[in-house]
A and B are shown apart, each in its own frame.
Chain A
Amino acid sequence: KAGVTQTPRYLIKTRGQQVTLSCSPISGHRSVSWYQQTPGQGLQFLFEYFSETQRNKGNFPGRFSGRQFSNSRSEMNVSTLELGDSALYLCASSARTGYGYTFGSGTRLTVV
């Protein structure tokens, strides 16, 4: 059974640009959560989606947005990138909201 797939694995962007990260959950999983990991702040919750609906949102500025498609794949978008957005972005999926989340390997975003 394939795990949670995040693409791309690595990304370098320039300040002011925007970026879109993709997450394909485990087949059959309808719940997807996103986290940001930085050395200073650790792992911080960004969003949670279930059946295309955002169920929870973390304490991040409006530049961070996400969505989930009918096939449960999810994307997150960061606009007007700042140096501080450099981080590992992790996606996790579950068969139903709230339980048994499996994480992907993440997308390493570097903003220069």
Chain B
Amino acid sequence: DQQVKQNSPSLSVQEGRISILNCDYTNSMFDYFLWYKKYPAEGPTFLISISSIKDKNEDGRFTVFLNKSAKHLSLHIVPSQPGDSAVYFCAASHGGSQGNLIFGKGTKLSVKP
């Protein structure tokens, strides 16, 4: 039973436009959510996170939105750049520990020049 779901395996966006990556979760005990970016042959790199007590967190071009009632979060990248092309993973944790993350299966983002 998948607790964190990324229903879009891939997304293609034009350079300069907005990329929106979505993530749904089922476990209401999750209290911290993270987005990681992964290039081939490298480990995931932390991008941005959000606590369940917030509904938005922004860091430069990256904004994460959390809708607890819908158990849904999204990552917005504005403007998208070709270097953003990678696989993006949504992850969740509970009990204040990020040492045990539940990951989604990832969305491959392609940003075309």
Q: Which residues of A contact B (CB under 8 A)?
A: 4, 31, 33, 35, 41-45, 48, 50, 55-56, 58, 90, 92, 94, 97-106
Contacts and interface: CB of A to CB of B under 8 A. Distances in A.
Interface of B is mostly: loop
Interface in B29-81: 36, 41-46
Nearest to A103: B43
Nearest to A102: B46
Tell me which of A43, A50, A90 has the highest count of chain B C-beta atoms within 10 A of its own C-beta: A43
Tell me which of A4, A42, A58 has the highest count of chain B C-beta atoms within 10 A of its own C-beta: A42
B98 interface: yes
Interface residues of B, number: 20
Contacts, number: 62
Contacts of A35: 101, 103
B89 A90 contact: no
B96 interface: yes
B100 interface: yes
Nearest to A39: B105
